[in-house]
């Protein structure tokens, strides 16, 4: 890292600029643009995410205060507050979505082989969604209920590393199970989801692709037991059965055998019943895999607490998706930075240090060494749960 350059400039050096330019060219993002290129827009929005800016007015003021340092931080043009608002409203959100996917690909390479507390040779993913509430009067395109608007963030999270591999943004009324139609399933990988995704036709598609799923059974699921294996009830297991579906429709949708595992959660004392198409892993490993699904819930909690996807800088669908995708790219960028430079800090601490030193002219790793001695970790729960990231 070069001394004399701002921490922000050193951080953005880690981004593949040529890949960003290709995304811009793909959607003609800079066509007839006179002020604030797509790159400047991205850097300003990234600055807003790192420093916790919550409005366009606050962003404009923050840039004005640091105006002498912006050029050497890579921000060539800021423009008026209305310029950033217009860019978010009109420039294709897919530029930033595609770039986030490129960063996700890089993170996948860096975190390949990472463990998450379960001995598993295969890759494991957790699938879930979170709802971001909006004002119906301002966001009529995202109508959710009669008097409510919302968007849903559907996320496929890699448990080895705790980073999102697929993110799909939809209006709130889109049911979670429909997202299974948009996913590609890798043979041998595990996909863990709650019972909101229990659709046997779609689950059989996962099975046909040679992938494995772990989900929860519903109380009204009609099954016939074919075989029972012995279990150690001291471990929390209650049964391990091979079953077939017996419902008229369900047996047509999923004609193959399933595995049904009963488990008593030692913490909540709640009885859970899992369904999977994997017949080989120990039953207790299946139960532990489902428990690891909560990593995606913690991911949603983390980005809502520490990034800014609840207060939006624009009201159009394009502006909302632009802001969400840039927030996700910042999250993945932190993951890449952490892994590439072997940092032991939690993601929250990394963001804190970047916030405090963003326009300081000091080697970035030296800034982390100094600031980490002063910062107290406020979110120990996230630090414990996001051990891979």
pLDDT in tens, 294-304: 899 988 988 88
Distance CA 230, CA 239 (A): 7
User: Residue-wise over 75-93: b if at least 16 C-beta within 10 A, else e?
Assistant: bebbbebebbbbbbeebbb
Q: Give yes or no for residue 308 having a pLDDT over 80.
A: no
pLDDT of 3 reads 53
Q: Give yes or no for residue 1 having a pLDDT over 60.
A: no
* Contacts made by residues 271-274, CB under 8 angstroms, sequence distance 24+: 271/238, 272/216, 273/216, 273/217, 274/214, 274/215, 274/216, 274/217
First vs last C-alpha separation in the chain: 23
pLDDT of 305 reads 82
Q: Give yes or no for residue 306 having a pLDDT over 70.
A: yes
pLDDT of 163 reads 84
> What are the strands, taking DSSP E only, across 316-375?
none
pLDDT in tens, 226-243: 999 999 999 999 999 999
User: Would you tell me how many other CB atoms lie within 10 Å of the CB of residue 30?
Assistant: 17
Distance CA 254, CA 258 (A): 9
Going from the C-alpha of 77 to that of each of 15, 24, 43, 84, 259, the distances in angstroms are 19, 17, 10, 10, 59
Q: Are 190 and 213 in contact (CB under 8 A)?
A: yes
pLDDT in tens, 168-177: 999 999 999 9
Q: CA dihedral defined by 85, 87, 91, 96, rounded to 10 degrees?
A: -90
Confidence band (pLDDT; 50, 70, 90) for 382? very low
pLDDT of 24 reads 96
Nearest to 221 by CA among 293, 274, 166, 159: 274
pLDDT of 386 reads 44
pLDDT of 301 reads 87
Q: pTM of the prediction? A: 0.84
Distance CA 331, CA 382 (A): 14
Distance CA 299, CA 302 (A): 5
pLDDT in tens, 178-220: 999 999 999 999 999 999 999 999 999 999 999 999 999 998 9
Distance CA 378, CA 247 (A): 50
pLDDT of 66 reads 84
In DSSP notation, 47-66 reads: HHHHHT--SHHHHHHHHHHT
Q: In 3-state terms, what secondary structure has residue 138?
A: coil
Percent of the chain with pLDDT over 70: 94
Distance CA 91, CA 103 (A): 20
Q: Average the pLDDT over 6-19 and give the result.
A: 93
Q: Give yes or no for residue 383 having a pLDDT over 70.
A: no
Q: Which range is least confidently modeled, 126-130, 144-148, 185-189?
A: 144-148
Confidence band (pLDDT; 50, 70, 90) for 379? very low
């Amino acid at each position: 890292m070069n001394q004399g350059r701002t921490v922000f400039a050193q951080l953005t050096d880690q981004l593949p600029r040529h890949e960003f330019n290709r995304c811009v060219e793909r959607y003609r993002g800079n066509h007839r643009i006179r002020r604030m290129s797509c790159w400047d827009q991205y850097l300003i929005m990234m600055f807003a995410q790192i420093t916790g800016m919550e409005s366009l007015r606050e962003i404009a003021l923050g840039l004005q205060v640091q105006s002498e340092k912006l050029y050497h931080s890579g921000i060539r043009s800021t423009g008026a507050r209305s310029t950033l608002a217009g860019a978010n409203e009109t420039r294709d959100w897919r530029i930033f979505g595609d770039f986030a996917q490129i960063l996700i690909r890089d993170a996948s390479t860096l975190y390949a082989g990472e463990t998450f507390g379960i001995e598993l040779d295969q890759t494991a993913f957790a699938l879930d969604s979170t709802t971001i509430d909006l004002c119906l009067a301002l966001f009529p395109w995202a109508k959710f209920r009669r008097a409510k608007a919302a968007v849903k963030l559907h996320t496929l999270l890699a448990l080895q590393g705790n980073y999102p591999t697929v993110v799909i943004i939809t209006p709130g009324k889109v049911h979670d199970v429909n997202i299974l139609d948009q996913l590609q399933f890798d043979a041998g990988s595990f996909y863990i989801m709650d019972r909101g995704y229990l659709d046997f036709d779609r689950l059989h598609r996962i099975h046909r692709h040679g992938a494995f799923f772990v989900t929860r059974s519903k109380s009204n699921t009609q099954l016939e037991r074919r075989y029972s294996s012995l279990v150690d009830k001291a471990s929390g297991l209650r049964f391990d059965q091979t079953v077939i579906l017996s419902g008229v429709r369900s047996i047509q949708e999923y004609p193959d055998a399933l595995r049904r595992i009963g488990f008593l959660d030692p913490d909540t004392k709640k009885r859970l019943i899992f369904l999977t198409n994997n017949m080989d892993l120990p039953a207790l490993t299946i139960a532990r895999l489902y428990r690891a699904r909560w990593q995606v819930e913690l991911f949603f909690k983390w980005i809502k607490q520490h990034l800014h996807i609840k207060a939006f800088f624009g009201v159009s669908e394009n502006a909302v998706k632009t802001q969400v995708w840039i927030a996700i790219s910042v999250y993945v960028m932190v993951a890449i930075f952490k892994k590439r430079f072997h940092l032991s800090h939690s993601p929250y601490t990394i963001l804190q240090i970047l916030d405090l030193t963003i326009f300081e002219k000091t080697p970035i790793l030296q800034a982390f060494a100094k600031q980490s001695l002063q910062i107290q970790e406020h979110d120990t729960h996230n630090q414990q749960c996001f051990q891979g990231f």
